[in-house]
């Protein structure tokens, strides 16, 4: 998952984790600036960047927490799927998407890495929202 950080018509793409770490570093830098400058005002540009980084990091953290809760609802404690029918789960793995689209898992990963299929990287591979896969399938059929 990435965060898009935009300030004054300049955009930088960082991972959410990088935003969280950069937020901490900027907070320390601002505190050091205030301490070393005798309490003078922090440059507005630095404040703007710090605020944008904080917002991006908080947005990422909220999305990550939401996705974690969704996954926890459908994944057992030992990492296996629960009794629910896989066709009803809102989150799909690469293999499930490959079966659904009748293409190889390698092709699914390629399409996901290019943004053709909306998905998110996970430590064990890619995860996809079922609704996004259904939309992708519908768009493929319409363009064919």
pLDDT digits 0-9 by tens, 9-29 = 666 666 777 777 888 888 888
pLDDT in tens, the chain (144 residues): 444 455 556 666 667 777 778 888 888 888 888 888 887 788 887 788 788 878 877 776 777 667 666 655 555 444 444 445 555 667 888 998 999 899 999 999 999 988 888 888 877 788 888 888 888 888 888 876
Taking the C-alpha atoms of residue 72 and residue 78, their distance in angstroms, rounded to an integer, is 11
What is the SS3 assignment for 90? Answer: coil
């Amino acid at each position: 998952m990435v965060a898009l950080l935009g300030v004054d018509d300049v955009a930088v793409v960082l991972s959410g984790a990088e935003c969280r770490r950069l937020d901490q570093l900027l907070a320390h830098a601002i505190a050091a600036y205030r301490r070393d400058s005798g309490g003078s005002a922090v440059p507005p540009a630095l404040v703007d960047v710090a605020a944008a980084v904080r917002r991006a990091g908080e947005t990422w953290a909220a999305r990550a927490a939401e996705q974690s809760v969704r996954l926890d609802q459908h994944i057992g404690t030992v990492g296996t799927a629960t009794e629910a029918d896989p066709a009803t789960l809102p989150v799909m793995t690469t293999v499930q998407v490959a079966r659904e689209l009748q293409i190889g898992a390698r092709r699914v990963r390629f399409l996901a890495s290019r943004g053709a299929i909306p998905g998110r990287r996970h430590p064990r591979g890619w995860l996809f929202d079922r609704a996004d896969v259904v939309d992708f399938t519908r768009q493929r059929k319409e363009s064919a």
